[in-house]
Amino acid sequence: MARTRQSPAMTSVAPPIADHPGNVRDTLRFLTCGSVDDGKSTLLGRLLSDADLLTDDQRQRLAASGAGDDGTDYAAVLDGLIAEREQKITIDVGWRYFSTQERAFVVADAPGHEQYTANMASGASNAELALLLVDARKGILTQTRRHARIAALFGIRAAVLAVNKMDLVGWSRDRFEEIAAAFAILAAELGITQLVAVPLCARSGDNVVRRSTAMGWYAGPTLIEHLESVAIERDPAHRPLRLPVQWVNRPGPDFRGYCGSIASGALSPGLQVRVVPGGQEARIRRIVTPAGDASMAIAGQAVTVTLDRELDISRGDVIAGAGDAPDAADHFAAHLLWTGGTEELLPGRSYRMLLGSCEVPAVITALKYRVDVNTGGQEACHTLRLNDIGVCDIALDRPVPFESYRHNRDLGGFILVDRQTAATVGAGTIDFALRRSGNRFWQHLDVDRDSRARALGQRPRVVWFTGLSGSGKSTIANLVEKKLHAAGRHTYLIDGDNLRHGLNRDLGFTDADRVENIRRSAEVARLMADAGLIVLVGLISPFRAEREMARSLLPEGDFIEVFVDTPLAICERRDPKGLYAKARAGNLRNFTGIDSPYEPPPAPDLRLDGTHASPEHLADQVIALLD
């Protein structure tokens, strides 16, 4: 997952695995997850207590809480869970650290509530093993299946199924084997190749650290025995070199260093490297670490490197071995987990993608299907809602370095951020680049925008009229065009209703269709402005994000947002097309202002009061602004 930015929905960033080679093999990162009240906090408390791994402060908390073999609350021993216990929820991923003689552990304690699934995904993206808890009474639930799919989506191939609360089913072997068999089928489907099921009771400690006398029929390892011995297939130091550049350090004229954490591979002075994108090559001159210059650096280390010649390198570029560099592309097929709360995914809307150390505008160009978390089946859909997993195509505004997620988590895992709220709304994994992304090139044209504008004797503009239905947008835009035409200007008026008779006739009025309607209209307006015209666009365009997208298509100052500010009550009273009456009667769904939202511009270029002034007077205000 991208680690360059934190956001309200996905705040947890895993600490580095190691600062030196020796720790990489000795540390296991694992994720604990499961449904609400399955016992994750109790299990972690019991694990630390019985393994004699508590700090002095935690021991005092344990004594004060009265926790013990009588089954009282072991969560009290974990400092990071105090807020959770007070609020009765888990609000983020809690990172825990402990070590035994056999191994060191970094634990991502993920929340169980559905609304915090994004946090679970954050933990999964930094884990190597998933510890999934289920209540022996309830068995495999939808949330269990969702967590398993998310773990598999983010590359976890080793799992422990901890069947907890076995005391509440009479320590039944049959019940345990029934649950384990059901989950084994799901694990095989998801590609989880290492699976161990352990029957346990976290409250009493059975099969957590000490072997259970109540379940003598179980011959497998205890939980801690398995965690200490499980073999995880990894060796990032021997993979191809990948150093995403996070910033360029230039404290003086004689030093330019490129800083970042090595995602994979190794560095040494003299190594021939290539910068992606761009393809420039140079040799490593120095490797600077917090401890000083180094003769070698490997995956997991934060370094600053200098090169034997000055190259144009910036944040988001990747330094790689010259003989095995990653590709760059701007169009991908990907799996996406939607975490946007009440906001749905809207194909066509522009988001910010954080990939490696890149931050780049991204648009979902096609939503292929949604995955049924229970069956794994493919469901046709037009949008994704909270916790949905889908397969989609994503287009960026420029090529970026990447690898498929199965080959490189750092260059294949991404998050999506809402451009208006800065909230994280999605997390995903790149499957592959779409072939056509490397075969599209801008065709050079000798006659350009400036040439066309000079021939017409005017400055091209896009004047974007937004407001509720009945606010007067079309009337004012029509008057503005008449005045411009009379003054000898070359214009074109794009009316939203007229476009829906042709170019946009396949679109309805759902939020997703409105986004696509505005995207197409904005692209048409951009082309007409490129032809040298003054383009007037009359669209409700209810969403700020899409109006800002339209603005971003044009040079600075060439997009003018005109807000026709007419209150809903007045628009409804006018109701020139009878649409409000239909909407109020329930015969017209998704009507802006009634059952679909309108987001007023916070700072339009021009605000027109559509309450009292005449359309003629309002049109003159637009002409004055253009002049």
Span 365-388, average pLDDT? 89
Query: Given pLDDT bands bounded at 50, 70 and 90, which one contains residue 624?
Result: very high
CB 245 within 8 A of CB 260: yes
pLDDT for 81:
45
Rounded CA-CA distance 267/297 in Å is 5
Least confident of 205-219, 241-255, 360-374, 532-546: 241-255
Rounded CA-CA distance 257/603 in Å is 41
- Range ranked top by mean pLDDT from 58-62, 495-499, 603-607: 603-607
Q: Answer whether residue 460 shows pLDDT above 90.
A: yes
Backbone angles phi, psi at 585, to 5 degrees: -85, -5
> What integer best gives the mean pLDDT of the chain?
85
Residue among 215, 211, 214 nearest 224 (CA): 211
Alpha carbon of 146 to those of 118, 219, 375, 414: distances in Å? 12, 29, 10, 19
CB 359 within 8 A of CB 396: no
- Determine what percent of the chain is predicted with pLDDT higher than 70: 86
Backbone angles phi, psi at 168, to 5 degrees: -85, -5
Q: Could you write out the DSSP letters of every residue in 22-64?
A: HHHHHEEEEEEEESTTS-HHHHHHHHHHHTT---HHHHHHHHH
Supply 448's token pair: 């350009």
CB 142 within 8 A of CB 185: no
Least confident of 69-83, 220-234, 384-398, 489-503: 69-83
pLDDT for 26:
76
CB 348 within 8 A of CB 515: yes
Alpha carbon of 367 to those of 190, 340, 474: distances in Å? 21, 16, 33
What is the reported pTM? Answer: 0.73
Rounded CA-CA distance 28/269 in Å is 31
Residues 319-349: pLDDT tens digits? 999 989 999 999 999 999 998 878 899 888 8
Q: Answer whether residue 93 shows pLDDT above 60.
A: yes
